[in-house]
Amino acid sequence: MTEIPDPPQPPAPSDMIPVTIEEEMRSSYLAYAMSVIVSRALPDVRDGLKPVHRRILYSMRESGFTHDKPYRKSARAVGDVMGKYHPHGDSSIYDAMVRMAQFWSMRVKLIDGQGNFGSVDGDSPAAMRYTEARLAKAASFLLDDIDRDTVDFQPNYDESEQEPKILPAAFPNLLINGASGIAVGMATNIPPHNPGEIIDATLALIARPDMTLDELMQIVPGPDFPTGGIILGRAGIRSAFETGRGSVLIRARAEIEDLRRDRQAIVITEIPYQVNKSTLQERIAELVRAKQIEGISDIRDESDRSGMRIVIEIKRDATPEVVLNHLYRFTQLQTSFGVNTLALDNGKPRLMGLKDVLEAFLAFREEVILRRARHDLNKARDRGHLLVGLVIAVANIDAVIALIRAAPDAATARESLMTTAWDAADVEPLLALIHDEGNVVTGGKVHLTEAQARGILELRLQRLTGLEREKIQQELSEVATRINELLDIIASRPRRLEVMREELTAIRAELASPRMTEIADYAGDQTDESLIEPGQMVVTITREGFIKRTPLDVFRAQNRGGRGRTAAGRRGDDIVVRSFNAHTHQWVLFFSSGGKAYREKVWRLPEASPTAKGRALINLLPDLGGDSITAVLPLPQDESLWENLHLVFATATGNVRRNRLSDFRNIRSSGLIAMKLDEDDRLIGVATCREGQDVFLATRNARCIRFQITDDTLRVFAGRDSSGVRGIRLAEGDEVNSLCVLNHVEATVEERASYLRLANARRRAENAALQAGEDAEDTVAEASDEEAVPPDATIDAERFAELEMAEEVLLTVSDAGFGRRSSAYDYRVSGRGGQGIANMTFTSGKRGSEVVATLPVINGTDVMLVTDAGRLIRVPVDQIRIMSRQASGVTLFRLDTTERVTSVFPVMDDGSDEDGGEDGGEDDAATPDAAPDAPDA
């Protein structure tokens, strides 16, 4: 294949240099980037201003728009800046000027505006033809001495004017007002600080240049935003002050107020810096409409000239603290300010900490004072030089007048004054006083310079009076003193620092104001727990391992004997096997069939309706594997109580073990080995206990045992890999199904028997009316105790009252839905490992054959019963009669033929509905016509 040659290229002109496009792009882009960095986006560390702000302030000063002059149209100031110094659009200039006039943007305003300069709601300012402005008094401290050779000047964009490269700022404006800007490849975001604190830190650094950052932070604890708010934590502040980078968490200031008797509101009085108030309210409204935040009924803005006030009304059933935490999480009521202290230092971008910025300002300010002193020295020497000439003229006034009269013109007169030798007897000390090197004394004579000759010719005749001659001498003396002061400033650095300290102290008196932003301690980021509505939950676990939580107030209390309500949707033959009542912020320990312990907060459990099946535990506890949860223990919400608590474990085979609760404080997500189990054994319960209390074990076949917790009977095990010791000796086919911990009461057998006989008699008398109206099937004939009650045993009233105060009551429920309460005194304390005593009597018929649970209950509370059909009923404890521990009980739950009770648990919070339940109520209550046959006592 024939190769086609490239067409011939025309010869390059002799004045063209070939450049690759890569090199051209690189050089052009770098030039553009440096122009943006140096001349547009980044502030200078010395005066804290970007070029546009610097040009605005300088132009307004040159035009006379100072704080002691009337306001002028903003359009005039913008036009001057645009025409002389800033070759950009008027909108960018006006926007920069507007920001310097906004009190919510600047910690110390530099522009004093009159008219509509926008609002914290994000409203645009009025057009510049409508607003008026002048320099604020604080701006004068940035511009003072600019005409005294304190800073360098440079030509403007068309070289028709001169503009300052920097302003001779007398205070650290970069830190006080902050700055923000985006350059090419870099950005800056500097928060404002309290002017009094920053100036105090500057003064402290002048006195002690070796101050540490910690010492500086004692003076400047952190940023101070003009919109107030609360800074959470100090770690981000320290990082920003030390390295120049850090994140500061800002939170709005909110209070909860009572509006009416039953209504509360969250009132926002301060919002984070640079947050748009109107946008914030719109965001809250969107979240309420999307139901992402619940509990808000109304939001309105009541802000006025006196200050900000956003009112968020809360619904009656909502918790204001939880709603507020949701607002912090999902809105800009809490936001972070990313500090990036990047500024130009000697024309180069540099990331600086607090001390770096202050040191750079001090070095610049010292240079300003030095240059100003040199400028003033030159001016003072020039003035002293003229005054010396006037003194010579006054001393030789007759000869001077004669010389001037004889001269044909001014030039000749000036020349004659300069060539004539004048007597230097009076001026020689003055020349030394003012350090004048312009006049040289030779042979007692001195010649005038051209400047002095011109000054003499311009001398007014009134200066020849005696008073005026004295004023000349006095002024000359003052100039001499001033020259000596300036020479001292130039020669001595401590003197320059003293001048700086005096000026900063005077400025502080003008600019200092109270801190607006509070700095609060903060442990860390907001946790999800703070967003959860506190309240009681019913947690249910099914046989197949599904778990859920349901608000307690969903279940309404019913009278005993009701039909209950549907508790959970079942999958196949899945049934609820465990339920308990707990607070949303409680820890819950889960114990698996493999002897491992897991820990989770209640609010992390899936929330579902009473009819929902919940979520599989294997998804909540991924490391559960093939094990099933066999015991669940809600821990005290106050973790300080954990130190003095122990855990007692009980297994189905009757073994028990005691461990410290602190052994389970730190549990990994993969679980922790809790107890070593024998083959075919399982945990049936875990409870918290203290030394001296009693362990109570109850079995399925209605046996029970009670023994005291002591080091002799049940010691504390050091490890978690033990299978424990025998708690109760079981008959064949029996197993333990209930564990509880009771308070130990020292009482003899006779005292307990007498108390029970007297207490039962009192209860029978109180219930006489109720017993008369009940059907025989619900009238319980109490079985005789295994222990004989001595007929002559008595106790006095004081001892009876003591035992009554310490009495605990146990509820025993059978699988047929019957139950009764019994006094804990009916269960004697024995040794560990025995066969126990009878807990309930079963008879033929409908009374069941197994005990489902035995648990302590309290008057005024409710219990819930769950069946294998998924039905649940909530019954007030007060409606369950107290009987002997061997009694069969009364009807608690009406069951279908094949239905059985599988779980019983107490409800600690009432929240009941006295009108009855969804499927129960007065029609389902125990009545003479509806009760089943009662067994023989």
Cα 447 to chain centroid distance, Å, stands at: 78
Which residue type does 202 have? T
Residues annotated as part of the active site: 130
- Strand 245-251 and strand 348-351: pairing? unpaired
Beta-carbon contacts of 387 under 8 Å, excluding residues fewer than 6 positions away, are 430, 434, 472, 475, 476, 479
Residue matched to tokens 């052994």: 663
Cα separation of 559 and 927, whole Å? 11
Classify residue 188 by burial, with Cβ atoms within 10 Å: 0-12, 13-18, 19+. buried
Cβ–Cβ contacts within 10 Å for residue 240, how many?
A: 24
Which residue type does 810 have? L
Dihedral (Cα; 568, 572, 577, 578), 10-degree rounding: -40
Cβ–Cβ contacts within 10 Å for residue 423, how many?
A: 14
Cα separation of 77 and 606, whole Å? 64
Q: Which residues, in sequence order, are bridge partners of residue 363? A: none
Classify residue 492 by burial, with Cβ atoms within 10 Å: 0-12, 13-18, 19+. exposed
Beta-carbon contacts of 758 under 8 Å, excluding residues fewer than 6 positions away, are 795, 800
Nearest residue to 738 (alpha-carbon basis) of 748, 727, 749: 727
**Per-position b or e across 760-797, b if 16+ CB within 10 A of its CB:** beeeeeeeeeeeeebeebbebebbebeeeeeeebebee
Cα separation of 99 and 274, whole Å? 12
3-state DSSP assignment of residue 53: helix
- In the sheet that 809-814 helps form, which strands lie side by side, from edge to edge? 851-857, 809-814, 818-823, 890-891
756 neighbors 883 (Cβ within 8 angstroms)? no
Cα separation of 131 and 65, whole Å? 14
293 neighbors 327 (Cβ within 8 angstroms)? yes
**Per-position b or e across 9-42, b if 16+ CB within 10 A of its CB:** eeeeeeeeeeeeeeeeeeeeeeeeeeebbbebbb
HSE, side-chain direction, 13 A CA sphere, residue 829: 20
Classify residue 929 by burial, with Cβ atoms within 10 Å: 0-12, 13-18, 19+. exposed
Cα separation of 111 and 101, whole Å? 5
Please tell me the total number of residues recorded for the chain in this structure.
Answer: 937
**Strand ranges for 5-110 from DSSP E:** 72-73
Cα separation of 593 and 578, whole Å? 14
Which residue type does 171 have? F
Supply the DSSP symbol for 669: T
H or E element in which residue 589 lies: strand 587-592
3-state DSSP assignment of residue 401: helix
Helices (H), 255-353: 277-289, 320-330
Cα separation of 864 and 909, whole Å? 12
